[in-house]
Structure 1
Amino acid sequence: MSLLDIKNLSVEFQTAHGMFRAVDGVNFNVDKGQILSIVGESGSGKSVSMLALMGLLPWTAKVTADVMTFDGIDLLSISKKERRKIIGKDISMIFQEPMTSLNPCFTVGYQIMEVMKEHLGGTKKELEKRAVELLGMVGIPAPESRLKAYPHQMSGGMNQRVMIAMMIACKPRLLIADEPTTALDVTIQAQILELLVELQKKQDMALVLITHDMGVVAETAERVVVQYAGQQVEKQEVKGLFNHPGHPYTHALLNALPERATDKHLPSIPGVVPGQLDRPKGCLFSPRCEFATDLCHATPPTTTNGVLCHYPLQDGVPTGHPGGQQSKVAGGNG
């Protein structure tokens, strides 16, 4: 049995223009000790999917799913009190921006110890000792003195390390990292990713890494879920995804990697992710896809072999496409 199992997850928000479906039919599972990456542009519903799992969405959100279980526990049916015993202890989440996630009014030591006090208990002396150990584990120098520091007295990289220390304090079985390096300098990003993978292996925890950086996916993940406009468009093992992408959107993301550029100009995907008021009638990617036909514009596709597309790619060629072999993927606009 998978540690985390999600089937047909959807999230809707009440807006001035009616209900907006930000997540639409997402399916994936994560096994113990496994690294899963969720990729896609901003607006793809990556963070919302995981916030729904954590129970951290506002009251305006309506969350539905056929299955949402953690270690066999139905997260949709348990009470808020029962959920609080799991969230923060067995399931933890590192957020994108550490400066808005940490409370500026309390020292970092107090905030780390508060997590442990809530879920594990212990004396103040025991909690302080464990907090010092955690800060040392995440590479913060002179951890004893840092316990009394406030977030504004530390750099962005240090605050992100504090966030990681907080989230691993109770030795979670599942850690969700929501673009954990977005707000950091390039030189610090690699250190944080290396630290996360090292901790994941050391504590044998499952890791869900949310990112839009395909390079990060290649270096860290075992399996990948690709989301677009709230929908899951592809799900594959990492090696298969990079060697044989099945969806034109995935292919375009990979072509946009600088190391894959074969011309002076880096390929890009035209247009933007559709919002609430400009969603196409058929395939949501059709306005940006060079292979879109009348069928794509009029009819939503169904998932075949993990790919949500009318004409899944096979070795760069959209199968069953009216254009046949001449529709070979070119550039990065597929």
Structure 2
Amino acid sequence: MAAQKKGAGGKQPTINDVAALAGVSKKTVSRVINRSEFLTEKTRKAVEQAIETLGFVPNPQARALAFRRNFLIALLHDNPNAQTVLNFQQGVLDAIKDSDLALLVRPVDRGSERMLDDVRTFLEKQRPIGALLLPPISENDDLAALCEDLGVRYVRVGSAPLDDAKHCVSSNDREVVAEAVRALIALRHRRIGFVRGPQGFRSAAEREKGFMEALSEAGLDLPAAYNAPGNYRYAAGIEAGEALLSLSEPPTAIFCSNDEMAAGVMSVAHAKRIDVPGALSIIGFDDSPTATHIWPALSTVRWPIREMGVRAAKTLVPDFLPLAGKVDESDSGVLNSTFIQRQSVASPQR
């Protein structure tokens, strides 16, 4: 039988038409549309079949009014690495592509005294269903408390667990960085330099802890001259490379806290005609496109930031993602990063 596309009187079908065809109340149809859990599978299927038969399209404004929320996920960030934000954003979009949700991206200034007030105003005006908090602002407990106060669902993303599993998705930065540095030590590197991440970032602290743990296990020290500051930007890698590779006894290997800075160090090595990896091994973190766009290809830690975006969205709004299902309540929310050894690492030749 051909699908009926008109309601009573030949007009566009309404929620009343769906209710009449399915033999249920208008309120029950509304519950199905809004994916309420308090329905039998038989009732849900009857309503969904009526919706399909009639070609009924729910009114998004009416749904938003019923929820007292707009069908939006807010992504809040203050991150200097644009690629990280883009990769995470793509993961969220992967998760919500078959839903009625849209993504709203909002940069904030974590250094501003008005940050919390600005976020409060933004959330009150936009009325999103939930908020995803990227590091480093995800590490701000007051921001999480603000979301709680406003009744806005939230998930915090970090390089270590920041909250309980229903409010957090994280990675294992410390452990995987230690693994990467152990690989350098296994190749007989003993003079290993380090380029730090920005001060105040939990990711920078976790990566530094992993680096120091691996050195300590091997009985190695990190001389002050081998410990270079960084901020996750390419220019910081240039500065660190100039400082480390100009030493009278430069390191034979350098671990950089992200790929952008590793690319900066490699650029300095090329300018100084230092062979990579013959005279200098370099490791980054992220496995961003940069890692395979430079030569030699960069050994790095693959940070599953896109997968973290998918997981964060599933954790935040499982009831709005019909094809995604729910995250297992026993899931810790920790996604493991992976060390990838490429051509930028070898045993030292000197």
TM-score (norm 2): 0.30
Decide which structure has greater strand share: 1
Decide which structure has greater helix share: 2
Q: Which has the higher contact order (CA 8 A, sep 6+)?
A: 1
